[in-house]
Amino acid sequence: MNQPLAKAQLTSRDKSITFLLEASDREFPGIKDYWDGNWVLVRLDLKIPGLKIDFTDPCIRTDELETFLEALKGLSLGHSLIAETSFTEPILYMSLQIPEPGSDDLTGRIEITLFADEGAASVAVEMDIDFDALDVFISGIEEILKEYPVVARETH
């Protein structure tokens, strides 16, 4: 069963760089356990001057996206200076940070690694972001998690 697309977009201050994270379905629809139920199929779209990457096969875990969302909210509120991903799949890495306490500046780093039979290739981009763009990105991730909520938590 396909659910609606849910997306989060992050745009650089000068609008020259755009990153889109778009969730389209669960990898294992109907599964409700921690290990398989939290995988979501996503599309990564990165546009920078002279390059466009549109990659549609990677998966992320909703529980890991939820953890990243909480870090982004802390950054937005000024409770922390950095928010970064720690996704199980190494396809996507993101880091957003405030260079120093009290600063109005916000920088971001996005790394996308594409894997193929021939090997891997990575693209990394750094960008200046304003807090309005961060809030839009946070709202988009909340939308993704509303459509694809965490279905189970890890138990120890």
Q: Confidence class of residue 4 from pLDDT cuts 50, 70 and 90?
A: low
Residue with tokens 């000068």: 14
Write out the residue range of the structural domain in which residue 22 sits.
6-147
Measured between alpha carbons, how far is 49 from 101 in angstroms, rounded to an integer? Answer: 31
How many other C-beta atoms are found inside a 10 Å radius of the C-beta of residue 81? 14
Tens of pLDDT, residue by residue over 37-87, are: 999 999 999 999 999 999 887 789 999 999 999 999 999 998 999 999 988
Tens of pLDDT, residue by residue over 5-29, are: 899 999 999 999 999 999 999 999 9
Residue-averaged pLDDT of the chain: 91
The reply to whether 155 falls in a domain is no
Residue 121: predicted pLDDT: 86
Residue 2: predicted pLDDT: 56
CATH number of the structural domain spanning residue 77: 2.30.31
Residue 3: predicted pLDDT: 62
pLDDT at 123 over 70: yes
Q: What is the pTM of this model?
A: 0.92
The reply to whether 152 falls in a domain is no
The reply to whether 81 falls in a domain is yes
Residue 146: predicted pLDDT: 97
Q: Confidence class of residue 113 from pLDDT cuts 50, 70 and 90?
A: confident
Measured between alpha carbons, how far is 140 from 156 in angstroms, rounded to an integer? Answer: 31
The reply to whether 63 falls in a domain is yes
Residue 5: predicted pLDDT: 83
* Number of domains into which the chain is organized: 1
Cα 124 → chain centroid: 14
Cβ proximity of 91 and 69 under 8 Å: no
Cβ proximity of 85 and 13 under 8 Å: no
Cβ proximity of 5 and 21 under 8 Å: no
The reply to whether 153 falls in a domain is no
Residue 119: predicted pLDDT: 83
